[in-house]
Amino acid sequence: MVSAGAAIGESCAELTAQSITPDQIDNCRPLPAGAAHLSRALAALPPKGELTRFNQAERAKLESLNEFVRRIGRDGAWVIKVVDAPQAAIGLFERAVVIVTGPAFHRLSSLELQAVIAHEFGHEYVWREFEAARLANNHRRLQELELVCDRVAVVLLERFQIDTRHLRSALQRIEEYNLERFVPAANTPNYPSLQMRTDLINRWSRPRRR
């Protein structure tokens, strides 16, 4: 499990993907929002749409995700919800609920899903700055913050001895699924290109032993 850290935002407001270090990822690690915050987030979700019927393999996949949440120190602070939605997507709602759409849950492997959840954990580091950039419609800063989250994910995955190729493949498979079926989403300018993300993930990752 990752060690406890600082209050959210402390000494972390200017983090960039190029400058962030593993030590900063430890020192700036935000505290969980807490049980009361989780309860409010759950109450704010739509009353319908959650998928709850899973076969044995799907239950095992879901349990692997819950175990990963425990490993990153968010047991009791995060809940994973698989929801019925047409697009493949994974997001962190109100720093408390990991929303996984059905296509993402079924299309991605357990390790790919864990890799994307590691990216979502990165959003806790930059939550306030992300919201400020979103309200200001600052696409450039939003793209940079997404890369910060990728950097956090790479560090965590390597600590847990999970190959970072699972993050690259998850991002690619999500993008391919959505582009084959839908027009580009309205928030596409908020994200760096897939090529940029995969290139940087490759650069940040330690060379694999053959």
Question: What are the pLDDT digits (tens) for 41-80?
Answer: 999 999 999 999 999 999 999 999 999 999 999 999 999 9
Question: Which region among 54-58, 194-198, 205-209 has the lowest average model confidence (pLDDT)?
Answer: 205-209
Question: Nearest to residue 130, comparing CAs of 97, 98, 156, 94?
Answer: 94
Question: What are the pLDDT digits (tens) for 103-131?
Answer: 999 999 999 999 999 999 999 999 999 99
- Domain that residue 130 falls in: 32-204
Q: What is the mean pLDDT of residues 11-19?
A: 68
In a domain, 142, yes or no: yes
In a domain, 109, yes or no: yes
Question: What are the pLDDT digits (tens) for 137-174?
Answer: 999 999 999 999 999 999 999 999 999 999 999 999 99
For residue 5, the model assigns a pLDDT of 43
Report the number of distinct structural domains present in the chain: 1
Tokens of 187: 């928030």
In a domain, 160, yes or no: yes
| C-alpha distance across the termini of the chain, in Å | 28
In a domain, 9, yes or no: no
For residue 13, the model assigns a pLDDT of 58
CA–CA separation, 29 and 19 (whole Å): 16
Q: What is the mean pLDDT of residues 68-96?
A: 97
Q: Residues 78-102, buried b or exposed e (16+ Cβ, 10 A)?
A: bbbbbbeeeebbbebbebbbbbbbb
For residue 12, the model assigns a pLDDT of 59
- Determine how many CB atoms are found less than 10 A away from the CB of residue 173: 17
In a domain, 16, yes or no: no
Q: For the full predicted model, state whether its pTM sits above 0.85.
A: yes
In a domain, 97, yes or no: yes
For residue 15, the model assigns a pLDDT of 72
Vertex 15, ends 157 and 188: CA angle to 5°? 75
In a domain, 99, yes or no: yes
In a domain, 119, yes or no: yes
For residue 206, the model assigns a pLDDT of 85
Is the distance from CB of 161 to CB of 123 less than 8 angstroms? no
Q: What is the mean pLDDT of residues 3-19?
A: 56
